Amino acid sequence: MRTPDIASTPDVVIVGGGIGGLSTAFALARLGLRIRVLEQAKEFGEVGAGIQLAPNCTRILEDYGLLDAAKALGVVPDRMVMRDAVDGRELTALDLRDLERRYGFPYLVIHRSDLHALFLDACRKAGVELLTEQRVVSYTQAADTATARTQDGVEHRAAVVIAADGLHSVARAMFLDDRPVSSAYVAYRGTVPVAQAGRPVDLSEVVVHVGPGCHFVHYGLRGGDLLNQVAVFESPRARAGLDDWGTPDELDTAFEGTCDTVRRGLPHMWRDKWWRMYDRDPISTWVQGRIALLGDAAHPPLQYMAQGAIMAIEDGWVLAEHAKRLRAADRTVDWSGTLAAYAAVRPEHCRRVVLTARAWGELWHLDGIQRERRNALLRARAVHDYSFIDWIYGPTALFPEDEPAMFEPIPLASADRIHAGRVASADHREHVL
């Protein structure tokens, strides 16, 4: 057994130096706790492009004193717009300035690497111990401690070990022998200077074009200097069970029938890499003794609600709030109580998000009569109707009784009353909005 070459034992060890791990480290370090983060890569960094931060996240950034810095690095748009990817017509929109008035905090878009760097800098200033090239391969625990062991034999022991080690979490196997679930969808991403976008772009909007088996997202980054684009489509090869799926030829084929605005964005995607989209089935147990799952290790979602990183940030905030609530006069934390409180509230919320994201993905990608029904219902929605998002954009619940009720789904077949002549003879599958 090897032990780290440091003088003191941390209060908390966090495995994983992504957005979830670093935001949690900062939240706990603000309480005066000694935090160590173990990152398996040679340096801390974040892969990807843009990320959307809804009010349930920017509320936490404000609490951390980081919101102004995040706004300076990103863009605060005026509207979120959903359009049909085939004909380009607007289906529905959110007035994001009114949304900010309703929830008290803005909707922000920012580059993932900028948000990650913001948390990394905050951790450094807070005295978090940041270690790289630490690949954790196993976990053990005693009555009041837990240990993360790296592949070179180093054991990192603390009162609590938090596994924020992502979709392929090593720690999750302690809780359940499950595997990531493939959606058969793949995402291509890309950023391009706005001046080189090749088409007029309104950077005051976050736009998603939804189409049969595909969708396309774009919005501005870094003060409007960059355009972020994401193209997502269902892979026929994945559906056929082939290993080589999601390739650029499938990308081009998937978007052949889309409108000019979407097709003109495709040449600016990174065509040498793509992200296959997985989630996992929700689990209700995230804590075992002094080991806790957090972020994608606990609840990896599909991206349709843009809540993946947000849920991880919320996890850390909730954990820290309960640690603060259960801290004694001598500043010691009742970790058993803290972890129990965390485990009582977060799994149910994240279960809802993961399952709703799956349903919204199906809704976005409808074809034929079902697409027409969806479009009719979306066009009938009032701009200031927040019934579908109140449960997600409001304050993060600290206790189960604070978790708000979800929205009431609307059967797509109800669109028949809007356009009875167009769709009355169609099949009546129970897709819902």
pLDDT range class, residue 49, cuts 50, 70, 90: confident
Yes or no: say if 159 and 336 are a contact pair by the CB < 8 Å rule: no
**93 has pLDDT over 70:** yes
Grouping H, G, I as helix, E, B as strand and the rest as coil, residue 59 is: helix
Q: Which has more confidence, 15 or 49?
A: 15
Give the whole-angstrom CA distance, residue 133 versus residue 130: 10
The pair of structure tokens assigned to 378 is: 């979306």
Crossing angle for the helix pair 19-29 and 112-126, nearest 10 degrees? 30
| Average pLDDT estimate for 256-264 | 96
Q: Over the Cα atoms of the chain, what is R_g?
A: 22
Relative to beta strand 205-211, strand 275-279 is unpaired
Burial classification of residue 294, based on how many CB atoms lie within 10 Å of its CB (0-12 exposed, 13-18 middle, 19 or more buried): buried
Yes or no: say if 13 and 38 are a contact pair by the CB < 8 Å rule: yes
pLDDT range class, residue 4, cuts 50, 70, 90: low
To 5 degrees, how large is the angle CA 25–CA 29–CA 32?
Answer: 160
**26 has pLDDT over 50:** yes
How many other CB atoms sit within 10 Å of the CB of residue 57? 29
Q: What is the pLDDT of residues 162-215, one digit of tens each?
A: 999 999 999 999 999 999 999 999 999 999 999 888 888 899 999 999 999 999
386 is an active site residue: no
Q: What is the pLDDT of residues 358-405, one digit of tens each?
A: 999 999 999 999 999 999 999 999 999 999 999 999 999 999 999 999
**1 has pLDDT over 50:** no
Q: What is the pLDDT of residue 230?
A: 97
Give the whole-angstrom CA distance, residue 51 versus residue 117: 13
In the chain, the amino acid numbered 114 is D
Grouping H, G, I as helix, E, B as strand and the rest as coil, residue 70 is: helix
**429 has pLDDT over 60:** no
Q: Which residue has the tokens 């989209």?
A: 277
Give the whole-angstrom CA distance, residue 85 versus residue 262: 7
Distances (CA, A) of 345 to 61, 105, 226, 342, 398: 20, 23, 38, 6, 7
Q: Looking at 64, 219, 278, 393, which residue is catalytic?
A: 219
Give the whole-angstrom CA distance, residue 139 versus residue 190: 37
To 5 degrees, how large is the angle CA 366–CA 371–CA 374?
Answer: 105
Q: Which residue has the tokens 């820290």?
A: 320
| Average pLDDT estimate for 342-349 | 98
Task: Residue 48: name the closest of 187, 163, 202, 180 by CA.
Answer: 187
Whole-model pTM over 0.75: yes
Give the whole-angstrom CA distance, residue 369 versus residue 382: 23
Yes or no: say if 138 and 77 are a contact pair by the CB < 8 Å rule: no
Average of per-residue pLDDT values in the chain: 93
Yes or no: say if 198 and 264 are a contact pair by the CB < 8 Å rule: yes
In the chain, the amino acid numbered 41 is A
H or E segment at 91? strand 90-95
Q: What is the pLDDT of residues 296-326, one digit of tens each?
A: 999 999 999 999 999 999 999 999 999 999 9
Q: What is the pLDDT of residue 199?
A: 83
User: DSSP string covering 318-371, please?
Assistant: HHHHHHHHTB-TTS-B-HHHHHHHHHHHHHHHHHHHHHHHHHHHHHHT--HHHH
In the chain, the amino acid numbered 76 is V
- Measured in degrees and rounded to the nearest 5, phi and psi for residue 334 equal -80, 90
Q: What is the pLDDT of residues 103-153, one digit of tens each?
A: 999 999 999 999 999 999 999 999 999 999 999 999 999 989 999 999 999
Yes or no: say if 134 and 40 are a contact pair by the CB < 8 Å rule: yes
- Measured in degrees and rounded to the nearest 5, phi and psi for residue 173 equal -60, -20
